[in-house]
Structure 1
Amino acid sequence: MKFSLGPLLYFWPKTDIEAFYHAATDSDADIVYLGETVCGKRRTMKPADWLLLARELAAAGKNVVLSTQALLEAPSEINVMKKYIANGEFSIEANDVSAICLAHQQNVPFVVGPAVNCYNAQTLQLFVKQGMVRWCMPVELSRDWLSHTLNDCTAMGIRQQFETEVFSYGFLPLAYSARCFTARAEGRVKDDCQTCCIHYPQGLAANSQENQRLFTLNGIQTQSGYCYNLINDLASMKGLVDVVRISPLADDTLATLSAFKQAESTGTTSPVTDHIHCNGYWHRLAGLDTQTI
């Protein structure tokens, strides 16, 4: 299996972003996704800045993919997406069907990201015809669902035409909205949000009245309250999953990726971060649950 660093889902200062990806050049990541996927107001990194990082990472031997925004709300955001697709050097991760259509028109190979609602082999067959080279399944789906879907792909003769990727570590991106929940939590309206999400480099916890962490607010994105962690489920991915995705959280992300890679090669695990973890979706359980081996 290969290991990837998913796109950064949070709004960090530009210097922090650059430092993180400079460090990633020497990491165990095989694939690195770059780009703003959540909110078009996060503009400290321009497309040209992402491309500079992409070239640096590619020179270090990483397979670089440019990720597009999941919820497009303005013509300026569509223009940014077009720049990514027309970059001429790197493949893209399409997090919206419009990106798939444009990539197909320009013969640009693409990864279908987890924000795209792709739930069956028939849809995968359509995307393969349009140029899909890898598919990251939606985060709420299980190993059993993945197995059945890939069996259908085998029967249709398309199983060997694309790779399968699974979001395996990080706060799960569950939903997107036109509203900005982080701004609302600070008493701001979205049009005057002042990109206050930069104050929450791992999102803003949203707890129940019983003080259980239910969700993580990340601008217009709602994430899981617990950190998804499939490090103990790597053995069950054999034969199904080609790429294990680690979502960037903080300074320990690269160490977490190394721990995953070691666990895959040796079968042993080591603790990763102090977040409350879950793996329920992979086991067809409630998302907050944890299935122990």
Structure 2
Amino acid sequence: MQITLGPLLFFWPKKEVVTFYEKVAESSIDRVYLGEVVCSKRRELKLDDWLNIAKMLQAKGKEVVLSTLTLIEAESELSQVSKVCENGEFAVEANDMAAVHYLSKAGIPFITGPSVNLYSAEALQVLHRTGLKRWVLPVELSFDHLKMIMSRLKELGIHDLETEVFSYGYLPLAYSARCFTARTHELSKDSCEFSCIKSSAGIPLATQEGDALFTINGIQTLSGSCHNILDQWQVMESAGVKGMRLSGHSGDILKTAEEFAEAMGSGSSGKYIMGCNGYWVGEAGINHR
């Protein structure tokens, strides 16, 4: 089972990002996804900066994947996606069907992120024919649904498609043309003044009763509490899952990765603070089970 680190969803200053990935390079994480997936206005790091980080991580033995934008609204953003797809050195995770189209048309093997709505083995079969080599389970699907898909893949004769599961972090739930963080600061999206950089872990949104509901991150809506199914690694492994994705919201993610690596090394399920894991058991995602 590989420990993977998903793309950084929050907007951090360039210096903090570089320092963070220098620490990742010395961690037990096997595969790292890099790049801006939320908002094209977050330009602290350019593509060349991400490529430099990728090369540094690769030199430390990490497998590196470049991730594309999730919501594309303009030609300039489509151009940004095409440049990532054309990098020529690192594999690409497509987070939008535009990137899937570009990569498949170019004959470049690719990965799909959790935002690409693949809910059946038949859908995976279609993309597998055009170059899909790994997919990340959409966060709203349950383990039972995953087992059904993987059983059907075997029936279809597909045995070389890797499966990865989003296993720790704030769940990416939705994307909007509007920027909620800018609105919080009474700014328009076009004149946001890069408000997201003031909220390194997003803005918590609670119910009227004070319970955690959502986390606002620019145009992205995340779960209000941290999703955590790391203790499920053994059942995932037995089902054929090859990678478990951690999503960082602070430097503490590295401590979590090390504890998880130790738990797997000892063959134990580990001890973790329970997070919102309702989707995994077929219930409302906000539930803690």
Name the TM-score, length of structure 1 as normaliser.
Answer: 0.95
Identity over the aligned pairs, expressed in percent? 46
Partner of 1:16: 16
Partner of 2:171: 172
Q: Distance in 1 between matches of 2:259 and 2:124?
A: 31
Contact 2:234–2:269 (CA<8 Å) still a contact in 1?
no
Q: Which runs of 4+ in 1 moved over 3 A?
A: none
Structure 1 portions without partners, runs of 5+: none
CA shift, 1:270, in A, is 3.7
Contact 1:231–1:263 (CA<8 Å) still a contact in 2?
no
Among 272, 278, 281, the alignment partner of 1:280 is 278
CA shift, 1:271, in A, is 4.1
Contact 1:173–1:222 (CA<8 Å) still a contact in 2?
yes
Secondary structure in 1 aligned to 2:45? coil
Secondary structure in 1 aligned to 2:103? helix
Q: Distance in 2 between matches of 1:54 and 1:92?
A: 12
Contact 2:232–2:269 (CA<8 Å) still a contact in 1?
no
Secondary structure in 2 aligned to 1:111? strand
Partner of 1:213: 212
Asked if 1:125 is matched to 2:125, the reply is: yes
CA shift, 1:268, in A, is 4.3
CA shift, 1:189, in A, is 1.0
2:225 counterpart letter in structure 1: Y
Q: Distance in 2 between matches of 1:173 and 1:49?
A: 25
Asked if 1:67 is matched to 2:67, the reply is: yes
Q: Distance in 2 between matches of 1:260 and 1:133?
A: 25
Partner of 1:108: 108
Contact 1:128–1:161 (CA<8 Å) still a contact in 2?
no
CA shift, 1:232, in A, is 2.0
Q: Distance in 2 between matches of 1:209 and 1:146?
A: 34
Partner of 1:156: 156
2:57 counterpart letter in structure 1: L
Contact 1:103–1:109 (CA<8 Å) still a contact in 2?
yes
Secondary structure in 1 aligned to 2:147? helix
Task: State the Cα deviation string for residues 163-222 of structure 1 (Å, max 9, x = none).
Answer: 100000000000000000111111111111111011111110001111111000000000
Q: Distance in 2 between matches of 1:189 and 1:79?
A: 24
Q: Distance in 1 between matches of 2:265 and 2:60?
A: 23
Name the TM-score, length of structure 2 as normaliser.
Answer: 0.97
Partner of 2:29: 29
Partner of 2:57: 57
Alignment of 1:210-289 (within 5 A): 210-240=209-239, 241-266=241-266, 267-271=268-272, 277-289=275-287
CA shift, 1:239, in A, is 2.4
Asked if 1:290 is matched to 2:288, the reply is: yes
Q: Distance in 1 between matches of 2:234 and 2:278?
A: 16
RMSD in angstroms over aligned alpha carbons?
1.1
Judge which range, 69-78 or 263-272, deviates more.
263-272
CA shift, 1:10, in A, is 0.3
Structure 2 portions without partners, runs of 5+: none
Q: Distance in 1 between matches of 2:230 and 2:35?
A: 25
Contact 1:33–1:66 (CA<8 Å) still a contact in 2?
yes
Secondary structure in 2 aligned to 1:235? helix
